[in-house]
Amino acid sequence: MSLLAIAFIILILVNPTSEAINALAVIAAPIAAMVAAYYGITLSIQQVKNERAEKEKALARAEVAEATSRETEVWSAQMESGLRVAMAKLNAAGVSTSEVTKAAGTPADFF
């Protein structure tokens, strides 16, 4: 591009004729098209790289969310198991469990 600019400057200083301008335009047009194509391709490649990086971040967040969900399910199962054991012991001891059922927020037929 700098050589093209120098050629234009020389053309202006020397005595521009229509033939010289046309010849320079014939040379400049493909160069300008190549520069524009290079810019477009470079921009597209950068956008693809950015999208891939965003995809990787989203997948990582999804994996973390899935792991957290599994941990929550395990914890919930453990709490339910402990509550069932406590209810069984209370029932075996003949203690009323209606208050425990209300506090746990479980339906009447849960246990």
Q: Render pLDDT for 29-82 as a digit per residue (tens, 0 to 9).
A: 888 899 899 999 999 999 999 999 999 999 999 999 999 999 999 999 999 899
Q: How many domains does the chain have?
A: 1
Answer yes or no: is 7 within a domain. no
Write down the mean pLDDT value for the chain. Answer: 87
Answer yes or no: is 77 within a domain. yes
Q: Do 90 and 97 meet the contact criterion of CB atoms below 8 Å apart?
A: yes
Answer yes or no: is 74 within a domain. yes
Domain range enclosing 49? 12-103
φ, ψ of residue 17 in degrees (nearest 5): -110, 160
Cα gap 37→34, rounded to integer Å = 5
Answer yes or no: is 69 within a domain. yes
Instruction: Give start and end residues of each alpha helix (H) in the chain.
Output: 2-14, 18-93, 98-104
What is the C-alpha radius of gyration for the chain, rounded to an integer number of angstroms?
38
Cα gap 13→45, rounded to integer Å = 41
Answer yes or no: is 109 within a domain. no
This prediction has a pTM of 0.52
Is the four-CA dihedral 28, 29, 33, 39 of positive or negative sign?
positive
